[in-house]
Amino acid sequence: MSCELQEQIEFQLEQLNRLLQIYHSLVESSRSKPPDDIEMASLGALLHSFYSGVENIFARIARELDTERPHADSWHADLLEAMTVPSEHRPAVITPELGRQLRGYLQFRHVFRSAYVFTLRWDKMAPLAEQCEPVFRSLESQLRAFLQAIEK
């Protein structure tokens, strides 16, 4: 493994952590009071940015360690799925359970990119927003274990 891969993963983890810190109070306040349209747009941006950062990490791992990278129309979903299984050159990056959790963020990102923000539904977004920090903590832990495993 290159030092650069580890540095890039650490950088992305720092950025994701910062993103969650910025939005923490808005996520917490939305637990007791549904967000207004501006807050919904902001929370949509959080979820979009969150998964984009996760995907940046996975794409970097695939570029560095996998001989074959997803390139079909479904490459986003294929990349996520590929991270849940070992490849010829690396162990699985994340568990299938975390992969299932992250799939919801991937699906939301697709919706967010192709919809007007005023059409977003809080009942669909709330579980993602409320679980974003725990999902991140699990991702962070699994990525650190992955980095340790490939260092050996």
Q: Any idea where the domains of the chain sit in the sequence?
A: 3-151
Nearest to 38 by CA among 120, 115, 110, 113: 120
CB 105 within 8 A of CB 50: yes
Q: Which residues lie closer than 8 Å to 74 by C-beta, 6 or more apart?
A: none
Mean pLDDT over 71-94 rounds to 91
Q: How would residue 142 be classed by pLDDT, with cut points 50, 70 and 90?
A: very high
Q: How would residue 1 be classed by pLDDT, with cut points 50, 70 and 90?
A: low
Burial (CB count within 10 angstroms: exposed 0-12, middle 13-18, buried 19+), residue 109: buried
Give this prediction's pTM. Answer: 0.92
Q: Helix 96-114 and helix 37-65: axis angle, to 10°?
A: 130
CB 150 within 8 A of CB 1: yes
- In the prediction, which pLDDT does 73 show? 75
Cα 86–81–95 angle (5° rounding)? 60
- In the prediction, which pLDDT does 115 show? 86
| Residue 75 pLDDT > 80 | yes
Q: How would residue 70 be classed by pLDDT, with cut points 50, 70 and 90?
A: low
* CATH topology assigned to domain 3-151: Four Helix Bundle (Hemerythrin (Met), subunit A) (1.20.120)
Q: How would residue 3 be classed by pLDDT, with cut points 50, 70 and 90?
A: confident
Least confident range from 9-13, 72-76, 114-118: namely 72-76
Mean pLDDT of the chain: 93
Nearest to 17 by CA among 151, 141, 152: 141
The full 3-state SS of 122-152, as one line of letters, equals HHHHHHHHHHHHHHHHHHHHHHHHHHHHHHC
